[in-house]
Structures are given as C-alpha cells and as structure tokens.
Amino acid sequence: MSDLLKKFLLPDRSTRVQAVRLSRSWQTGLSHQSLPLPVQTLLGELVAAATLLAANIKFDGSLVLQLQGDGPVSLLVVECTSDLSIRATATLRDGQEVPEDGTLQTLLNHNGQGRFAVILDPNRADTQMRPYQGIVPMEGDSVAQVLELYMHASEQLDTRLWLAADTQHCAGLLLQRLPGTGGHSTADTDGDGTKTERSPEETWNHVAHLFHTVEPPELLQTDTDTLIHRLLWEEDLIAFDPQAVRWHCPCTRQRVADMLNMLGQDEVNAILKEQTTIRVSCNFCGKPYEFDAVDCGSLFVDRANTPDTRNPSVH
C-alpha cells in the first residue's frame, strides 16, 4: 500500500487533524545512507513533520526544514514538495562521536549555537510568492517541540505535533487550531442521552487531551485509520481524500556528469591521478556514482564535439 497522508476536520471546523505513517518511502530514503540510530530517529521525525506541514502550503513549490547543529550532527535537512515528494539527509561532523543516547540538544545544540530554519521555495513559474526563510534558535527538547514553538511564534497558530521514527517507519500526528473560521458550537451526547453544547475552545482542549495519550510505539505500529478511530471514534469527522507520499531525489548520473564538467578537465584529471575512479555520492539520498578515466574522458570529448549554438554577441 502507498504511504498516505490523511486530513480531517472536527465537525465545528475549528480544528484540523492530520496523520501520516511512512514505510516504503522512509526505507528508500535510508537505503543509501548509513546513519547512527539516534540520527535516523531525529531525521525520521523531521521527515514526518515536513510531510504534515507541506500538505498545507498553498503554492507550487517546496517546504524545507533544516536543523543546523554545533554538535556531532552539523545538519539535518528535509525537503517536501507540494505534491508530497520527499527527500532528506543528515551530515555528521568529522571527528565527533555520536553517542547511542544522543538527543536533539546534545547532538545538534551542544554549545547553544544550533539553529532551526524553515524555507518556503516556490517554483519559478509561481510568480505570486517570493521565497521565504525563517531562522530561530533551536529551543525545545524534541523536533516536535521545536516546530510547535516556531509555529506559535511565527504563524500564531496553536499547533501540536506527535512524531516518532525507527528503521522501518516514521509517523506523525498534527493537531492545529484554525483561526478565524467562525467555528460554531457542537453538541456532545452525555451518558444519560442529553446533549450539551461544546465551544471550539472546548473542542480543542478535548481533542488535545486525547492525542496526548498517544505514545511513540503506538504511533509507529498502528495504521492511520485505526489510530484515528481509536482516538476520535465519538467525533463525526470531515474526511478529505488521502494524499500519496513518495521518496524522490532528482539526482541522476547526468547531473553528476554536469558537475564534473563544471570542475573542468584539468581538475578532473588531477583527481584521477590520485585515484583510478571518481566516486560521488548524492548528499540527499546517498546514491553512489562512479566515473573511471574512460567515463571522464568521454565527458570532455562530448563537450568538445558539441557545437556552440549561443549567440556570439552574448557574453
């Protein structure tokens, strides 16, 4: 079954609920990256969070979440497009050991200089919006807390996140109180059959209380429909069409070849004198590419034989 993100609204339309549980796409992302377990966990939580947040962007483009660290982990970065194609990577600092019990703060904010960045990157064709970048200190003991604090400070939205990851799955729940919806009171049925009115504020508090009972193992091991029913079986939820999530890294052998061309023939030949093969791994997916002397030679032969069709008056 495809990895899916699912969206719901509470009956009074005052509160948004989203859930995602990824297996195939997450395992594809890990397949070319050898990361210590604590780093995998943090990266998986960031992947789930980016997927949940990208599902709400109103433009054609990408949401990028970055945790820039000053500890053993120098960078965690996830990009999720508006069609929910994801890619992610982690960069470790040379010479620093990653402890098995490493946490967000010890791995990325050891000296208090870590930063969290949110980047909104619209496609060039989307002229209605300019790129945006927000950078804040890395506050909070978890990826969820960092994002909750950011959302409250920058978007003025009450947002709660529950995130979890292991080597098989990454998953998340998002609960968000929608502003200015004109939400109306809804009726709850008491044990004696009588109905009482519930305000949007009471709806938010009630659902948040239910979600706070969710533990990471439950989030990872339970399929989305079962989990949502378990939590909100009394609610007449408004459900939206599910959205498929996939891992997609745009790296190709041709892109690597173009990069080598940009280095120039002299630089490439100098590398080949030190090693018989040039090995390049994609920073996002870790996929390896190899170019031997024959491969590299053909790059520049092909380039030399390609006619220059540029306007000679343009420099």
Question: What range does the domain containing 286 cover?
Answer: 253-305
Predicted confidence (pLDDT) per residue in 221-254, tens digit? 999 999 999 999 999 999 999 999 999 887 888 8
Q: Is residue 310 part of a domain?
A: no
d(CA 47, CA 22): 9
> Is residue 258 located within the same domain as residue 240?
no
Give me the residues paired with residue 177 across strands: 15
Look at the chain and report how many structural domains it folds into.
2
Q: Please give the biggest Cα pair distance in the chain.
A: 86
> Is residue 134 located within the same domain as residue 39?
yes
Domain boundary among 215, 231, 247: 247
* Contact yes or no for 93/71 (Cβ under 8 A): yes
Domain boundary among 231, 247, 263: 247
- Domain holding 273: CATH number? 3.90.1280.10
Predicted confidence (pLDDT) per residue in 95-149, tens digit? 899 999 999 999 999 889 999 999 998 887 656 777 888 888 999 999 999 999 9
> Is residue 87 located within the same domain as residue 184?
yes
Question: How is residue 36 written in tokens?
Answer: 């210590």
> Is residue 184 located within the same domain as residue 131?
yes
Instruction: Specify the pLDDT at position 260.
Output: 85
Q: Among residues of the chain, what percentage have pLDDT more than 90? A: 56
> Is residue 82 located within the same domain as residue 134?
yes
In Å, what is the CA distance from 54 to each residue of 14, 195, 279?
A: 20, 38, 33
Average per-residue pLDDT in the chain? 86
Closest CA to 246 of 84, 126, 104: 84
> Is residue 177 located within the same domain as residue 194?
yes
Of the candidate ranges 67-71, 286-290, 301-305, the one whose mean pLDDT is the lowest: 301-305
